[in-house]
Structure 1
Amino acid sequence: MGDHQITIRNELKAGDLGQVAALHGRIYFEEHGFEMGFEAYVMESLLEFYRQYDSSRDKVWVVEADGEMVGFLLLMHRQDEQAQLRYFILEKKYRGMGLGKKLMQEWIDFYKEKGYKGAFLYTTSGLDPAVSLYERFGFKKVSQIKSRNFGVPLLEMLYQLKMEKA
């Protein structure tokens, strides 16, 4: 972990939503060439999340190093007792140290604790490390479509998590 003090908090604070949008805008541009429309899309969908945020059913994971946001993940409730996994992001230098796995495990634990019936997430081609993590935790690809939504040709993929019946 180096000499950085890494903490994870689970409550939203003033300034967080803007930081999440900024992280996505910058990282996805640097690593995937996504245009500004992507950052705008993240902003819009964060507003949607915020407007229906319910701390009894939703949870955020804010990863901070030395007080700065370096990662984020959230679980939001959807219709029919479904949960959506969104905004899973980590700055490059904090990847590969088990943080992503820890976040995913905590996400799954909360998902089970709340008794959701299923879960889903959308992702895009080219995010292989994230995808292999999703698959390790039981998500399976159910569909994909070609898209140029964010200024680059890619596949938008839908993954679903179906809990085994106990």
Structure 2
Amino acid sequence: MNERFRIRPLGQPGDLGWVVMAHGELYAAEFGWDATFEALVSRIVADYATDHDPRREAAWIAELDGRRVGCVFCVAADQATAQLRILLVHPSARGHGLGGRLVDECLTFARRSGYTHMTLWTNDPLVAARRVYLSRGFTLAEQERHHSFGVDLVGQVYEIDLRAGVEAVRPRPAEQAAIGD
């Protein structure tokens, strides 16, 4: 990994606003999603900012030369299950393994915090993110068509057992088909 990149805990002034703005702008430009997606991200960020338990929930910012280029949040779904939320890597920083590093931060934190499972919700256009999730051992648990953010999507829930080994696993053939490889 190029030393120009670093991952740090979320918490500097402007981090929260950047997360919302980056999601709104990038998802509109790349996938045609409307402002209802930005509103969802802003609720997730606001909930985290106003009421999170730092022993059980955390978030990280990825930087390139001191400029924010990525993020991920780990929040409690319930006592045993962590939820990975709002992973993003800006196009200017893609191709350097940053998405994987952010997911690894989330997984490591969740294990250290005593969670036994992690879940996440994503949508079918996010192929690169799904590849990262599958390479870390997540498996597709369910999927459902829906109309959200102004477009037709297939929502997908992925899960991982955090008690299993931490080594990356290859996706099963059915999961490969789910991501279009």
Structure 1 length normalisation: TM-score? 0.90
Share of identical aligned residues, percent? 32
What's the secondary structure of 2:41's corresponding residue? helix
For these two proteins, the number of residue pairs brought into alignment is 165
Q: Does 1:12 align with 2:14?
A: no
Query: Structure 2: how far apart are the matches of 1:155 and 1:101?
Result: 23
Query: Structure 2: how far apart are the matches of 1:67 and 1:22?
Result: 18
The verdict on how the C-alpha distance between 1:144 and 1:120 changes in structure 2, with shifts beyond 3 A counting, is: same
Q: Does 1:43 align with 2:78?
A: no
Query: Structure 2: how far apart are the matches of 1:41 and 1:56?
Result: 24
Query: Structure 2: how far apart are the matches of 1:33 and 1:165?
Result: 37
Query: Structure 1: how far apart are the matches of 2:125 and 2:44?
Result: 22
| AA of the residue aligned to 2:150 | G
Give the CA RMSD over aligned residues. Answer: 1.9
Q: CA deviation at 1:20?
A: 0.3
Query: Structure 2: how far apart are the matches of 1:87 and 1:158?
Result: 14
Structure 1: gaps of 5 or more residues: none
Q: Does 1:158 align with 2:157?
A: yes
What's the secondary structure of 2:151's corresponding residue? coil
Residue in structure 2 matched with residue 116 of structure 1 by the alignment: 115
The verdict on how the C-alpha distance between 1:56 and 1:36 changes in structure 2, with shifts beyond 3 A counting, is: same
Residue in structure 1 matched with residue 90 of structure 2 by the alignment: 91
Q: CA deviation at 1:38?
A: 0.7
**Residue pairs, 1:18-33, within 5 angstroms:** 18-33=17-32
What's the secondary structure of 1:110's corresponding residue? helix
Larger mean Cα displacement after TM superposition, 52-61 or 35-44: 52-61
Query: Structure 1: how far apart are the matches of 2:113 and 2:159?
Result: 17
What's the secondary structure of 2:60's corresponding residue? strand
Structure 2: gaps of 5 or more residues: 166-181
The verdict on how the C-alpha distance between 1:112 and 1:146 changes in structure 2, with shifts beyond 3 A counting, is: same
- Residues 108-149 of structure 1 deviation map (CA, whole Å, 9 limit, x = unaligned): 222211220111100001111110110111111111121111
Q: Does 1:136 align with 2:135?
A: yes
Q: CA deviation at 1:164?
A: 4.7
Residue in structure 2 matched with residue 66 of structure 1 by the alignment: 65
Residue in structure 2 matched with residue 105 of structure 1 by the alignment: 104
Structure 2 length normalisation: TM-score? 0.83
Query: Structure 1: how far apart are the matches of 2:129 and 2:53?
Result: 26
Query: Structure 2: how far apart are the matches of 1:63 and 1:106?
Result: 11
What's the secondary structure of 1:111's corresponding residue? helix
Contact 2:4 2:65 (C-alpha < 8 Å) held by counterparts = yes
What's the secondary structure of 1:148's corresponding residue? strand
Query: Structure 1: how far apart are the matches of 2:57 and 2:66?
Result: 23
